[in-house]
Amino acid sequence: MLRSLVVLALALFVATPGSAQKKHIEKAADLPRFNYNVDAKLEDMLRDDSKFRPFAAQVRRDVESVLAEYEIDDRAMLRQLMTELVQLDLLDGNHEAALARVAQVKALEDKPADKLLSGITARAVIAGTRASNDRSSEAYRKAAAESVARELAAIPYEVIANEAKEIKAGAEILGEGRLIGAVREVLQPSVDKNGALSSDLAPTFVRIKYTHTFVLPLKPALVSAWSTYLSAHAVQKQDIWAARGVTLPNGANYAPVNVAIWDSGVDTRLFPDNVVRANGTVPVIAFDRFARPATGELQAIPESLRAKVPQLKARLKGFSDLQSNIDSPEASEIKQYLSSLKPDEYKAFAEEIGLAANWMHGTHVAGIAVQGNPYARIVVARIEFDWHLIPDPCPTRELTLQDAKNAQAYVDFFRQHNVRVVNMSWGGSVKDIEHALELCNMGRTPEERKTIAREYFDVQKDALTRAFASAPDILFVTAAGNSNQDATFAESIPAGIVLPNLLTVGAVDNAGDEASFTSYGPTVKVHANGYQVDSVIPGGEKLAESGTSMASPQVVNLAAKILAVNPKLSPSEVIALIRDNAEKTSDGRRVLINPGKALAAARAANAG
């Protein structure tokens, strides 16, 4: 099982007499790989520009060669490559080149908010640098803040409301300890083992260098500028979902519908009336992160961390409140903690909060999936997601083959327990495997890791596809992913798999506007609310979370209600009801589910 939980003018890419010779890139994994030998310590390169320049020159050469020699249709990948060059331009002090590329990135943006905000921080950095070369000076901060404020004054709040809150939250938790900690605990171990950084990890180091050099000194100015903007526009976006929602009444002649939550586990005590029971117990299928059979509805928290669970829950709430621009004690605590975090504290924090986020994820998803449906019955299918900065376990052929076998075991379990709908708020890609191989020092070169990753990925994709196809009477619903890219180009699974009983879901917010993080592409057929969605976590506390992880169970919720009122429907018929009664937006990018209309159509079909 894939165990990852689920920023040139356009004319430069128009065909020219020589462009026919370009090699076409159809998938992200088709891009060439490069390796960069690193002699100095990365932390020294982070602090010393002279030690960084030779590395930067190699990275620039290769990024520019890719843009010159390859035809890349995916705009997200083009933006990623161009943004890397923007950061290198700024680190080189070449402001004019950076501004030109910023404009080119903006032209490649698709989402309205992204287009309006594209390059706003880079332009602020340039404005500050032009005012003063001393990045610790008041002049640098003042000019940058004025640049942001000037641009924001011309941007309609209703388009960028969510993004403005996210950017402010990101600035508030920025700290040197996190940047240096990531270098020490993730990138430097890879260099120590491999003697080099690949072109997969190099962009991360460039981004950290850029942030440490230019953005970190601007933290107070950026927080102030975004806070002022949000304070001046303290207006809630209109919620379109309340009017579309449907709650099924108790006591009606509706059919029970078994819904599998294929996730990190479910605290079923929170759903006493919505759980499948067999001989008085809740049936569970579970495998740990080593692909071994496991027990328990929830992953066991290590003894050393059990006392910290309340604190970890509070910190998750703090992150959520920051994203919603809510001033709470939890938000204040996480801001203060991360701002002062020491590099040697980074690993423990990142892994502990990652474990906590994984642990609560399935319960949060389950709460969304069964809300307003007394006929839904949860079936627990537990995965143990890895939470370590360096993968544990590392990818191996043996683990891959066992995961493939387990995929079928999960689906067989669903059939055994008469599951009608499955939620899968998780995923991964071939590049994720390649990335893990590098962090684990597996494969001698990037090309060797590419070959190994492709083999493992194909085994996993084929296994999932066969497993889904083996249960044609079950509707599988999956999250599109949170990487703001085409799920098909990225080869995300399950999101990129095409089957008549599989539906992939993208995320919008309360107003139906496209979420900044949501992935997209030809397999993403409908969109649902995935922005700051309230649900429960283990123990019963409420938490608002964002992600396509939260959008997917909204569609599962609708599908289960449709099957409750019309249990004779097949997965393809349920999908058709959901899609035919959804509403395509004027920009053509979103297909918003309408639970009320779809459920009415299901009732009518049953009556007919």
Q: What is the pLDDT of residues 516-551, one digit of tens each?
A: 999 999 999 999 999 999 999 999 999 999 999 999
Residue 578 pLDDT > 60: yes
What is d(CA 327, CA 321) in angstroms, rounded to the nearest whole number? 7
Q: What percent of the chain has pLDDT over 70?
A: 97
Residue 6 pLDDT > 80: no
Check: CB of residue 364 under 8 Å from CB of residue 541: no
Residue 19 pLDDT > 60: no
Residue 7 pLDDT > 70: no
What is d(CA 444, CA 453) in angstroms, rounded to the nearest whole number? 13
Helices within 373-486 (DSSP H only): 397-416, 430-439, 446-469
Domains plus CATH for the chain? 7-165+196-232 (no CATH), 241-305+357-582 (3.40.50.200)
Which uninterrupted H or E stretch holds 127? helix 120-131
Mean pLDDT of 370-389: 98
Check: CB of residue 74 under 8 Å from CB of residue 26: no
pLDDT tens for each residue of 159-179: 999 999 999 999 999 999 999
Helices within 4-137 (DSSP H only): 42-47, 49-69, 75-92, 95-108, 112-117, 120-131
Q: Is the peptide bond before 272 cis (omega within 30 degrees of 0)?
A: no
Check: CB of residue 261 under 8 Å from CB of residue 282: no
Cβ burial, residue 147 (10 Å; 0-12/13-18/19+):
buried
Q: Quote the distance between the C-alpha of residue 477 and its chain's center.
A: 17
What integer pLDDT is reported at residue 16 of this predicted model?
Answer: 33
Check: CB of residue 222 under 8 Å from CB of residue 381: no
What is d(CA 102, CA 97) in angstroms, rounded to the nearest whole number? 9
Cβ burial, residue 183 (10 Å; 0-12/13-18/19+):
buried
Residue 439 pLDDT > 70: yes
pLDDT tens for each residue of 100-132: 999 999 999 999 999 999 999 999 999 999 999
What is d(CA 503, CA 495) in angstroms, rounded to the nearest whole number? 8
Q: Which residues contact 565 (CB under 8 A, 6 or more apart)?
A: 248, 254, 599, 602, 603, 606
Q: Quote the distance between the C-alpha of residue 446 and its chain's center.
A: 25
Check: CB of residue 131 under 8 Å from CB of residue 143: yes
Tokens representing residue 102 in the block = 């910023």
What integer pLDDT is reported at residue 398 of this predicted model?
Answer: 98
Q: Are strands 426-429 and 492-493 parallel, antiparallel or unpaired?
A: antiparallel
Check: CB of residue 260 under 8 Å from CB of residue 422: yes
What integer pLDDT is reported at residue 237 of this predicted model?
Answer: 86
Residue 586 pLDDT > 50: yes
pLDDT tens for each residue of 47-78: 999 999 999 999 999 999 999 999 999 999 99
Longest dimension (CA), the chain: 76
Q: What is the mean pLDDT of the chain?
A: 95
Mean pLDDT of 326-348: 97
Residue 182 pLDDT > 50: yes
Q: How far is CA 330 from each of CA 40, 45, 310, 321, 537, rounded to the nearest angstrom?
A: 40, 35, 11, 8, 16
Strand ranges (E), 438-582: 475-479, 492-493, 502-508, 524-529, 533-536, 542-545
Check: CB of residue 96 under 8 Å from CB of residue 73: no
What is d(CA 347, CA 179) in angstroms, rounded to the nearest whole number? 11
Instruction: State whether the Cα torsion 406-408-410-416 is positive or negative.
Output: negative
What is d(CA 240, CA 412) in angstroms, rounded to the nearest whole number? 38
What integer pLDDT is reported at residue 20 of this predicted model?
Answer: 54
Mean pLDDT of 176-191: 97
Give backbone dihedrals phi and psi of 383, rounded to 5 degrees, phi first: -110, 145
Residue 10 pLDDT > 70: no
pLDDT tens for each residue of 267-325: 999 999 999 998 889 999 999 999 999 999 999 999 999 999 999 999 999 999 999 99
Instruction: State whether the Cα torsion 50-55-56-57 is positive or negative.
Output: positive
Length of the chain: 608
Residue 3 pLDDT > 70: no
What integer pLDDT is reported at residue 448 of this predicted model?
Answer: 96
Side chain identity at 21, as an amino acid letter? Answer: Q
Mean pLDDT of 491-517: 97
Mean pLDDT of 15-27: 68
